[in-house]
Amino acid sequence: MTAAAGGAATREATVVATVPARWQRSDRRCDWAAEVLGTDRVGSFLEGPCVTPDGSLYVSDLAHGRIFRVGPDGTFRTVLDYDGQPNGLALHADGRLFVADYRLGLLALDPGAGDLQEVAGGYRTEPFRGLSDLVFGLDGTLYLSDQGQSDLRFPTGRLFRWSAAGGLELLMDGIASPNGVALSPDGHVLYVAVTRANSVYRVPLRDDGSVGKVGVYLQLSGGHGGPDGLACDAGGGLAVARYGLGAVQLFDAQGQLVLTIRSPAGAGTTNVAFGGPDSRALLITEAESGSVLSASFDQPGLRLYGQRAPGATSRPSAS
């Protein structure tokens, strides 16, 4: 580990798994890649790392409609290959894998049976603009970003809350590319990566269900993409995947940069999750190489809703 300019430390991640060459699909046209990446050929595009209670990792291939399960030994297994565009993944406490599908909406997958069902295809009478990421609160409420092709010219991205009892609720509109989402340890703050504005928003969640005053939590600079996936640690720090910069940056509970983790495999660091023993490993999806990266971390990651035993429930703390 070395010190970077400004006193923050740097660390290099290691590659722990890669999509096998025989599963790369660069031999066929990909409409999503043509629209978003400017190329109609891409072997895979990994997103949505989601850690399971047994230490395995789910990841999605947004470009080719696949969901993989990566074992602790780095072996890839295809869980689902379907006509969709899976992006963010979040594990429910009952074992179902919820999928933010860019094209099809909010889906739920039973990994064992391979049964895929639609949870919500849109809001009111309109389809989603293109779901990006999602995170469960400890009470089972789901928060999800609807990014689509929004940017600074067309700030049409949205932020939703969903529950089985209450259905879909719009929390915020008019966002320039809402992407990764993460909840604070007490469940009272939702962090949202706003990719095209190169920033992370802080969205207070009040006890009565309303949203408090939204503000910019982090204003970033550099890179050719922007902040993508997010993950909170148990102390309230925030990990930010910097797509196009080939790095994940760690900020403490006050929003101060404390560590930069560099990718050895490419600049396409899309998303991040905590896993490994005691949740002290930072697991990173790198889309250019189709790899999963890992780096050790001093602070354990926040224990998520789906990392509990099936059927277990919990409530956010009142702090």
Cα gap 281→295, rounded to integer Å: 6
% of the chain at pLDDT higher than 70 = 94
Residue 261: the pLDDT is 97
Cα gap 239→298, rounded to integer Å: 13
- Residue at 314 is within a domain: no
- Residue at 237 is within a domain: yes
Residue 314: the pLDDT is 37
- Residue at 134 is within a domain: yes
Q: Which domain holds residue 238?
A: 2-307
Of 42, 133, 31, the C-alpha closest to 84 is 31
- Residue at 280 is within a domain: yes
Band (319; pLDDT cuts 50, 70, 90): very low
pLDDT in tens, 287-310: 999 999 999 988 899 988 887 644
- Whether residue 50 is predicted with pLDDT greater than 90 in this model: the reply is yes
pTM of the model: 0.93
Token digits for 92?
């429910």
Band (69; pLDDT cuts 50, 70, 90): very high
Which sign, positive or negative, has the C-alpha torsion 148, 152, 155, 160?
positive
Q: Average pLDDT in the 180-201 region?
A: 97
- Residue at 163 is within a domain: yes
Task: Say which residue the tokens 């890992």 belong to.
Answer: 294
pLDDT in tens, 82-122: 999 999 999 999 999 999 999 999 999 999 888 999 999 99
Residue 36: the pLDDT is 83
Residue 10: the pLDDT is 95
Instruction: Give the CATH number for residue 109.
Output: 2.120.10.30
Q: Average pLDDT in the 55-75 region?
A: 95
- Whether residue 2 is predicted with pLDDT greater than 70 in this model: the reply is no
- Residue at 319 is within a domain: no
- Whether residue 318 is predicted with pLDDT greater than 50 in this model: the reply is no
Token digits for 200?
């992370």
Band (65; pLDDT cuts 50, 70, 90): very high
User: What is the total count of domains within the chain?
Assistant: 1
Please, are residues 160 and 168 in contact by the beta-carbon 8 Å criterion?
yes
- Whether residue 205 is predicted with pLDDT greater than 60 in this model: the reply is yes
| Average pLDDT score, the chain | 92
- Residue at 164 is within a domain: yes
pLDDT in tens, 121-164: 999 999 999 999 999 998 999 999 999 999 999 999 999 999 99
- Residue at 318 is within a domain: no
| Dihedral (Cα; 245, 250, 255, 256), 10-degree rounding | -90
- Whether residue 48 is predicted with pLDDT greater than 70 in this model: the reply is yes
